[in-house]
Structure 1
Amino acid sequence: MATISLEYEDNYTVFSLENPSPFLCSSFYKHERKTVFYVFGFGGKSDEHSVKGIVPVYLNRANICLLNWEKEASTGVLGNLAYGATAVPNARKIGKRFGKTLLILNKNGLNLKKVHVIGFSLGAQLSGYAGREVRANGKIIGRITGLDPAGPLFDGIVSLRALSASDASFVDIVHTNPGKLGIDSSVGTVDFWPNCQSSVQPGCEIKGRKGYSKRNSCSHARCWRYFTAAIERPSAFIATFAEDCLSWKAGVRTNKTVYMGDDINLNARGNFYLETNSAPPFGFKKEDCTLRHLPTK
């Protein structure tokens, strides 16, 4: 069964979803800090790159926890077929259980307003299920960040309900592989569209037939790489509001801007666009942000 790991420097302590109350008594838990839960996606593992990217940047600024659902998210013997056969149903099951866990913690003193759940791919959809479970019980999570929420089975007219703006007080979405591995619609309080609505992010252009899946996986992973970089360099990821992608690329923009990452303006609403570099550092210096824009294709 999935567990929660509370991380601190090079140590961690593990708690079950069914009995999480000792979490609040752990010497690793700092009451004055916000609490961040990171949820990886389909086929993810507790030692994967996204975990190694997200967790360290929060160690000195929050109670950082990993929701480890490695077994339930596994490809197993079915390979990629496990996505629809087992992983998606498990995301719903674990998400609802995680929501109940948060309610138990709240009853024992955890301030849900100071809870930030960050989910990557199918982990973002799991986070939505958790948020809805909490809301069904008259409470609400402070913030959910969806890092390129999984698109397959959650996109289109006939689909499962995806992570949405109603699942937390504030929901921000980072789209990096829309219409492919990621969802292709605006679903958050704020939706970030790095490099407009491109499904292939700069630096992920891999030529050749075999490169198609690599372009998608590379672009899909850019969401957590951008977000991690935005935590480390907040002013380097400033996004501008525009009515749509074409307007943004044509330079028809407003003066409404917002920083991607922890310093986001919680009063912001709508779709925001930004450009990134093709390799680290992905963000620009603040003075460069008003000088650069993508050419119209």
Structure 2
Amino acid sequence: MKLLVLLLLSASFILEVFSRDNTTVGELPPGIAAELLSLLTNKTIALTGGCGEVEEDDVSLLLFNRTNSDEPIILNSTNPIEINPDKKVIILIHGWISNPDTFIPEMKDSYLERYDCNLVMVNWKKLALKLYTTSICYVPKVAEFVANFLCLLNEQFKIALEDVHLVGHSLGGQMSGFIGQHTKRICNKAIGRITGMDPAGPFYQGLPRFQRLDNSDANFVDVLHTNAGILGYWGKCGHADFYVNCGTFQLGCPDFLFTLESVKDLPVSLVTCHHSRSVEYMEESVSVLNSFEAKSCPNCPILCAGGLLRTAEIIMGESIDKELASGGYTLTTNLVSPYGAGILETLKVIPKKISLPNIF
């Protein structure tokens, strides 16, 4: 009986959290909803065969800093005079059927509270709100646009690329890898760090390293896997790969019988909960220090046995030790936020979600 009550309360909690983004599956443009469901159920979909060139108004770069943390400055990519060359650069990149407004706004706020930095959001929503099979065609093209911008920052503003941190979700995670590749080609320099938040798996699975995110794309690449084998990439693609809750299904996310009829009235963010939870984990790691303690898992994701190993722990997320972290790791999370099971030091404490009452 207690378990039933807990499950009902969990369902109520989940619906309240995800109702904040009101876009439902049924409201997506024609064809996208059907394609999303095909991806969620591992059904075969065909590539469209190509895409056009990236137009001037297809991509914009939005600058936030501590002076303008709410309203961004739209940068001129060839003359970004508002960038402060004395501050580090963090670049956030949203994924498919997403945009800067729905890409966990708390992520931007948390970074600006933690660092006095240039925070740039890559806004490619016009191209991301197309069929997945079309959007992936634009990924390397948008990446080249961003890489040209970064090389300009390095050459004209003397911003060291090793001080640049790319943080991308889903297709944005794969795009981060292409940005790293393009910067090496264009200005012969490497990005400092890439964090892939459940980088997209469909159509990237099984590709050679130069066609997807891998550990050669930056000086350090760390990856959070939360929906591996479904919407996320299955397998190693960074210097350090974290298989959260074994990497595919996340605690607190609902399971559905995925048919258009069963999910058409539900928020997209709820249906893709396992995939998007990686963003919430990363945001929490920015605002809460040392909350995600992971154990070594050399055989992940094939055998998720890190919890059985008595090994030194590595912190997942923003505070990762780049000198020590290497290989595969696993960890478990709490059902609701705060998700980190090992919070040691709080940078800021802002209640963002309701908690389940103690019914035991």
* TM-score for the superposition, normalised by structure 1: 0.84
How many residue pairs were aligned? 272
Q: Considering only CA atoms, is the larger Rg found in Structure 1 or Structure 2?
A: 2
Whole-angstrom distance in 2 between the partners of 1:91 and 1:63: 23
Question: Relative contact order, CA 8 A, sep 6+: which one is greater?
Answer: 2
Structure 1 residues 56 and 152 mapped into 2: Cα distance closer, same or farther (>3 Å)? same
- Pairing of 1:143-154 with structure 2 (within 5 A): 143-154=193-204
Matched, 1:59 2:112: yes
| Structural mapping, 1:119-198, within 5 Å | 119-136=168-185, 137-156=187-206, 161-197=211-247
Contact 2:269–2:276 at 8 Å: present in 1 too? Answer: no
Partner of 1:22: 81
Aligned to 2:60: 3
* Structural RMSD (CA): 2.3
Offset from partner CA, 1:184-225 (integer Å, 9 cap, x none): 01110110111113x221111324444789876110010000
* Aligned mate of 1:36, from 60, 69, 90: 90
Establish whether residue 256 from structure 1 lines up as the match of residue 312 from structure 2. Answer: yes
Q: Percent identity?
A: 29
**Distance in 2 of aligned mates of 1:5 and 1:203:** 32
Give the counterpart of 2:151 among 103, 110, 119: 103
Decide whether aligned partners of structure 1 residues 134 and 160 sit closer, same or farther in structure 2, where only a CA change above 3 A counts.
closer
Shift of 1:158: 7.9
What residue in structure 1 maps to residue 5 of structure 2? none
CA contact (8 A) 1:20 1:101 kept: no
Partner amino acid, structure 2, of 1:274: L
Q: Distance in 2 between matches of 1:281 and 1:251?
A: 20
Kindly state the Cα deviation for residue 226 of structure 1 after the two structures are TM-superposed. Answer: 0.6
Cα gap change, 1:160/1:285 in structure 2, threshold over 3 Å: closer, same or farther? closer
Letter of the 2:175 counterpart:
L
CA–CA separation in structure 2 for the residues paired with 1:67 and 1:186: 25
Structure 1 residue runs of 5 or longer lacking an equivalent are 76-81, 288-297
Give the 3 Å change call, closer, same or farther, for CA 65–251 of structure 1 in structure 2: closer
CA distance in 2, matches of 1:157, 1:93: 18
The secondary structure found in structure 2 opposite 1:142 is strand
